[in-house]
Amino acid sequence: MLNALHRLSLRRILLLALLPGVVLVMGLEIVVSWRTALGAANAAYDRSLLGAIKAMDSNISTASGGLSVELPYRLLEFFELTANGRVFYRVASGDGLVEIGNSDLPASPQPLVNGQPQFSDAVYYGEPIRLGSYARALSQPLSGGSNSSQVVIQIGETLESRQDFTRRLVMEALARDFLLLVAGLVLLIMAVHWSLLPLQRLRQEVLQRDPQDLTPLNARNITQDVQPLVEAINHHVMRYREAMEARRMFIDDASHQLRTPLTTLATQVGFALREPDEVRMKQALGAIKTQVEETIRQTNQMLSLARADTLDWRMEPCDLLVLAQDITRAAWPAAREKQIDLGFEPLGAGLVGAHPGLLKEALSNLLHNAIHHTPMGAKVTVQAGLEPLAGDTSGRQQAILRVIDNGHGMSTAELAHAGERFFRGGSSHASGSGLGLAIAKAIAQRHGGVLYLHPTSAESGSPGLTATLCWPR
């Protein structure tokens, strides 16, 4: 459900989230206003009813020893004009033995306390009335038919005027709250629309851009909450631009690198076709075969480099010791041809998370470079396994694939450019594409690691080169 809501537009999400809350709050406000208006109307009419009771009380006489009320009908006419309805009254002794007026008026639902009026709703002859009851102590007990020292005064009025007034008051409150609700909803919709205008401008800016335009988006006029998104988009655009630039450079360099061997092949084939001597023709064909093999290797390396840059893969368990032993064993024939002492040294348990295919490609290129660029009778050592992280005291380890040789090595200036595509050191005496180290570097970066190159400390004094591919375990 929430995922379905999140797929809606931001405007609809905001309105769906805010409108029910606003309607609920305004509904509660209407209920509170209705109860407040009803309470205010009852309080006003109850005060009027209390005034009538006080007026009736002031006209009570006990001088004769009994109860009497002076001018009760004139008072009732005045009360009826004020209440816009019928009025009933009852004056009685505290024990109810002496009563004046409507003796069948309902009694107060609660016991009366002298000097404290009570108001209640009642039904009198099937008609709802509002009843006010009041009791007070007499200065002297009655002597005519009752010995009570308390007098009780009750006045009831019909509810026509009260209900009409309450209805008008409540309707006014409801109309006011309804107008506030409409105004609040309109303001809310306008606020949401106005808040989303920067996103609309951002959308239009993106849609109107040329497909080749990879400049960063302008975040100056964007709201602060959306700026992290714009910054993330700009970061992605920059990475994409860098990737596109790297791909363009790779294609340019690859086309240049392939054009030369293909041109050489065409020249050699033409020479072989024109050569009448069978021996020299075979020599030309041998040179063509060598050039084709070198071109095939160079093409495969370029494809491997592109694959290392773009391959979508997941980490899986990989035993570095088994992987390095297999690669070393496969390189023994090439090492024997140059009388190179090729060995393998394990560095301890080597089970890590990695992509075995890419690691094989990286180690194969490092080992090929070491064998290809070292002189006859050199020494090459392959190391694989786990080593503690440099400077880390928590015991964490890093995965290591390392190739050590004691060949010609590279100068400091060459080491600064090592790993760049198609770069070949000036001290190299063998042919090559200059992609081996670039492939290993790209694979190390895809594993979250690095490729280190530094001179080998050899006892013979030959500088050599040590290539270490490492990444966190």
Q: What pLDDT score was predicted for residue 429?
A: 47
Is the pLDDT at 255 greater than 70? The verdict is: no
The mean of the pLDDT values for the chain is: 78
pLDDT of residue 460: 44
Q: What is the pLDDT of residue 206?
A: 77
**pLDDT tens digit sequence for 311-339:** 566 778 888 888 999 989 988 988 898 89
Predicted local distance difference test score (pLDDT) of residue 423? 62
* Cα 122 to Cα 107: distance, rounded to the nearest angstrom: 9
pLDDT score recorded for residue 73: 63
284, 275 contact by CB (below 8 A) = yes
> How would you classify the pairing of strands 397-405 and 465-472?
antiparallel
pLDDT in tens, 394-406: 667 888 899 998 8
pLDDT of 386 over the 80 cut = yes
Evaluate whether the domain defined by 316-472 bears CATH number 3.40.1030.10. no
Confidence category of residue 75, pLDDT binned at 50, 70, 90: low
The span from the CA of 50 to the CA of 118, in Å, is 9
DSSP assignment of 326-373 equals: HHHHHTHHHHHHTT-EEEEEE-S--EEEE-HHHHHHHHHHHHHHHHHS
8 A C-beta contact, residue 75 and residue 153: no
What b-and-e string marks burial along 137-172, b requiring 16 or more CB atoms within 10 Å of the CB? eeeeebeeebebebbbbbbbbbbeebeebbeebbee
Q: What is the pLDDT of residues 264-295, one digit of tens each?
A: 777 777 777 777 877 777 777 887 787 777 77
Q: What is the pLDDT at residue 117?
A: 92
Helices 160-195, 10-58: crossing angle, 10 deg rounding: 160
User: What average pLDDT does range 207-233 have in this prediction?
Assistant: 75
At 386, list the tokens: 């786990």
Q: Write the pLDDT tens digit of every residue in 410-432.
A: 877 777 767 666 666 655 444 55
**pLDDT (0 to 100) of residue 447:** 76
